[in-house]
Amino acid sequence: DSGVTQTPKHLITATGQRVTLRCSPRSGDLSVYWYQQSLDQGLQFLIQYYNGEERAKGNILERFSAQQFPDLHSELNLSSLELGDSALYFCASSVGPWYEQYFGPGTRLTVT
Amino acid sequence: GIQVEQSPPDLILQEGANSTLRCNFSDSVNNLQWFHQNPWGQLINLFYIPSGTKQNGRLSATTVATERYSLLYISSSQTTDSGVYFCAVVNNNDMRFGAGTRLTVKP
């Protein structure tokens, strides 16, 4: 158990819908990261937050957004969902930007 | 952006054998991590190793940053070592993963 929690574990929704994925970092970690893993794209970095502020952006689509709240948990919002958004979404946390990262169990999103 | 290449893409071992996995990267990196993704999909942190050598039980890793590669050694492999091994590097405030090495350890 890495100490990083993610909810829900599984999510099935329809095209065009909007979903919110939630992540709680390990105790003491200030940085939170979001990643997408799909069969065709592999593992991709989406976005990083540090102590509530956005610190780095990767291959995150404009339809996706995230935030980190004062209690340090983070949410990833995915809107106008397409079939190609079906993937495993991981959250990770670390004590600071780009320090050793620990991954949560992931949320498997299926868009039908 | 930085390119990360892992080799071999697939590896099949008999239990008890040793193996070396390689990660090459095309530019300087700020840090490097090795992960194991088990058959249930969980990503497990193995090493945080931007340079030098580290050991943890049967696993060890070496990163030679000046030559832009890292190696992961698995000794006396066990069936529970099966899964996909990823290396990930940080460069220019971005993290890139290799495509992974899929390891199958047969009893």
Find, among A86, A89, A94, the residue nearest to A43 by Cα.
A89
B92 → chain A, closest CA residue: A56
Write down the pLDDT at residue A43: 96
How far apart CA A27 and CA B55 sit, in angstroms, is 26
Q: Considering chain B, what is the average pLDDT of its residues? A: 96
Local structure of residue A84 (DSSP, 8 states): G
B107 cis-preceded (ω within 30 degrees of 0): no
Q: Is the peptide bond before B50 cis (omega within 30 degrees of 0)?
A: no
What distance, in Å, lies between the first and last C-alpha atoms of chain A? 31
Under a CB-based contact definition with an 8 Å cutoff, are residues A64 and A78 in contact? Answer: yes
Q: Report phi then psi at B67, rounded to 5.
A: -105, 5
CA A27 remoteness from chain centre: 18
Report the distance separating Cα B13 and Cα B19, nearest Å: 8
Do residues A24 and A4 make contact, with C-beta atoms less than 8 angstroms apart? yes
Of A45, A100, A106, the CB nearest to B94: A45
pLDDT attached to residue A1: 86
Among B74, B91, B72, B93, residue whose Cα is nearest residue B82: B74
CB contact under 8 A, B95 and A98: yes
The answer to whether the CB atoms of B35 and A103 lie below 8 A apart is yes
User: pLDDT tens string for chain A (112 positions)?
Assistant: 889 999 999 999 999 999 999 999 999 999 999 999 999 899 999 999 999 999 999 989 999 999 999 999 999 999 999 999 999 999 999 999 999 999 999 999 999 9
* Residues composing chain A: 112
CA–CA separation, B65 vs B26, rounded Å?
A: 11
Distance (Å) from the alpha carbon of A92 to chain B's nearest alpha carbon: 10
B1 pLDDT band, cuts 50/70/90, is confident
> To the nearest whole angstrom, how far is the Cα of B17 from the nearest Cα of chain A?
28
Q: Which of residues 58-77 of A touch B (CB under 8 A)?
A: 58
What confidence tens digit (pLDDT) does each residue in B23-50 have?
Answer: 999 999 999 999 999 999 999 999 999 9
Q: Does A99 touch chain B (CB under 8 A)?
A: yes
Residues of B in contact with A4 (CB under 8 A): none
- Cα separation of B7 and A74, whole Å? 34
